[in-house]
Structure formats: structure tokens, C-alpha cells
Amino acid sequence: MGRIFSTLAHYLGVYREFLNTSFSQALSFRVHFILLIFMDLFFYASALLTVDYLYTHVEQIGIWNREQFLFFISFMLALDHLHMTFISESFWSLSFAIRKGDLDFLLVKPINTIFHVFFRHIRPASMCNLLVTWSLVIYYGRVCELTMVSWILLPFLLLLGLTLLVSLEILISTSMFWLVESFGINFLRMQFQHLARWPDFVYQTFSRRILTFVIPILLVGNAPVRFLFNAEDYWLLVWLAIMLLIIWVIAARLWDMGLRAYESASS
């Protein structure tokens, strides 16, 4: 037990250093820092206004009214915000690291490679929008009259959705080891994010089943939000947990295979 805690403390210490270096790096480029904040704000505004304009012409889309739909969008924006802040940058760096051979230096470090690769880069500028995304979640959550239990579970379910999204992205990113120019894989990853940003009922039956049960990208937001609205929809969360386990097993295997296939461009 003591060993687990000391390992955890060690990794927390390393992560603190990641944070420090990311902050000092980000603050060296102030215009970049400010533009990143605006980029996120433009994105939030366009996502919310699109749905808002739609609902001025229709009363209901699928099973949700305007407020429920906007709560879902806000939930996804909050999830996306965490993703942008703590994870996203690392995927772009991975494709460069593999292409240029910089991954060599990460592989020899006395630390778990997956942790170093996917948690190394943090975007401090995006942290500034934390208040915006959570204000939206709280505002629409109140309008939708979420129960006390739902409010308590909300942050945990958001992290669960984020974990599924990141796990799927890691799975996709393992393909970078086999491709010479893997920049495009990041665009594939982003397309999955786009698909996840809409409620499952907007997709037609066949697509919905594929994107829920085979490539479970729709579970990222739909499983938590449906459960928050109605606890009887717990089965989607159960399926999310099962899929998470399956993805971790496959991703770990593919990661090992990928490392064996890695040709180390610089050496």
C-alpha cells in the first residue's frame, strides 16, 4: 500500500513539473495565450448559437427540448474544455515525436511512457475558460431541474466521459506508429470528437448502433447526460464501463506492438 502511495506521489510530482513548464512556456507567448482563449470562446458561442437558432424554428429535436439539448451541448463543452486543457496538445506532439524520432528520449526515461506521452503538454490558456464552461453547465442544469444526486454525480460522470474519449483517442493514435506521416490521424481523432458532440438520437438507427456499440464514441456524452436526466437510463453507463475495459486492453496491446514497430527516425 505504501509503495502505491509513493508511486502516486512521484507521478504527482512529475505532473506538477509538467504544469510548471507548460505555464512558463505559455506565458512566454502572450498573444498566443490570448488568442487561445478567444478561439475557445468563438467555438463555444458557435456551438450554442447553432442549437439556439435551430430551436427558434422547431419545438423539439428527437426526445429533448431546447434546454435539455443546450445542457447536453454545455456538458460536452465542459468535457471538451478539460480535453483541450490537459490532453489535446499531447496527441499533436506524439505524431511529431514519432516522425522525428524524438520518442526515443521519452522511452529511456524512468517513467511510464504512456503517462509521459499523453500528459506532458498542458494548455494553461484554456484554463481561463473554466468559469465559462461550468457556468453554462450550471445554468442549463438548473433550468433542466437536475436532482441533487445528479449534481453530485455530474463532475464524476464528466470525467468518466472524458476518460472514454481519451482512451478511444489513444487507441486511434497507436496507428501513428505504422504510418510515416501520421499528422492526419489527429484529424481522424477530431472527427470522432465532432461525432460525439451531438445527442445519439440525431443519428439514424444503423449509425447510432455502430457509434454506440462498436466504436462507442456516442457514449462519451450521451451515457452521462441521459443518466443525469433519468437514472433509469443507467444501462448506457454500464456499457460505457465495459467498453472502457475492452478499449484499455486493446490499446495496451496495440501500444506495445506499436513500440516494437517504431523505427526511431533519428537514429
Site for another protein, rule CB under 8 A: 29, 31-32, 35-36, 38-39, 42-43, 45-46, 49-50, 53-54, 56-58, 60-62, 179-185, 187-188, 190-191, 194-195, 198, 201-204, 207
Please provide the DSSP assignment of 179-216 as one string.
Answer: -SS-HHHHHHHHHHHHHHTS-GGGS-HHHHHIIIIIS-
Amino acid of residue 28: S
* Minimal distance, residue 224 CB to another protein, in Å: 20
The whole-angstrom separation of Cα 90 and Cα 107 is 15
Q: Please, what is the minimum distance in Å from the beta carbon of residue 77 to another protein? A: 13
Q: How far is the CB of 182 from another protein (least distance, A)?
A: 8
Comparison of 22 and 150: residue with beta carbon closer to another protein: 22
Task: Indicate the residue among 64 and 237 with the shorter CB distance to another protein.
Answer: 64
Q: Which is nearer to another protein, 83 or 141 (CB)?
A: 83
CB of 140 to another protein, least distance (A): 20
Residues 44 and 70: beta-carbon distance below 8 Å: no
* Min dist. Cβ of residue 32 to another protein (A): 6
Smallest separation (angstroms) from another protein to the CB of 38: 7
Give the whole-angstrom CA distance, residue 51 versus residue 75.
14
Closest to another protein by CB, 14 or 210 = 210
Residue 20 or 191: which CB sits closer to another protein? 191
Residue 199 CB, shortest distance to another protein, in Å, is: 9
Which residue, 126 or 167, is less far from another protein as judged by CB? 126
**Which contacts qualify for 162-166: CB closer than 8 Å, 24 or more apart?**
162/79, 162/82, 162/83, 162/220, 163/244, 164/216, 164/219, 164/220, 164/240, 164/243, 164/244, 164/247, 165/79, 165/83, 165/192, 165/193, 165/196, 165/217, 165/220, 166/83, 166/87, 166/118
| Residue 201 or 239 having the CB closest to another protein | 201
